[in-house]
Amino acid sequence: MRFFVHIFGMFAGLYLSWPGISIPGNWKCFNEIIAKSAEDKIFFKAALEIPSSYLLTGKNKKMSSKVRIVADACFR
């Protein structure tokens, strides 16, 4: 029962954060950005979603913040 509640809470939190996560076309956008980033090409939509504070800090970027930016570009 706890496992079900935990999984339900995780999916509900993701859906509230990114309501477009359940739309298949948005996943295509997500996969395109990931594929183009491997080729060192940046997707224009993702570039517009990057906050200026992210660019101004010179510290190493964590993987979670990179995924958040890509997800914000496609799922919102």
pLDDT in tens, 18-42: 888 888 888 888 887 777 766 666 6
Question: What pLDDT, on a 0 to 100 scale, did the predictor assign at position 7?
Answer: 93
Q: 32: part of which helix (H) or strand (E)?
A: helix 24-38
User: Where does residue 40 fall: left (phi above 0), alpha (psi -120 to 50 degrees), or beta otherwise?
Assistant: left
Residue 37: domain span: 2-75
Nearest-angstrom CA–CA distance, 58 and 1? 44
* Count of structural domains within the chain: 1
- Is-above-0.75 flag for pTM? no
Residue 37's Cβ-count burial label (10 Å; 0-12, 13-18, 19+) is middle
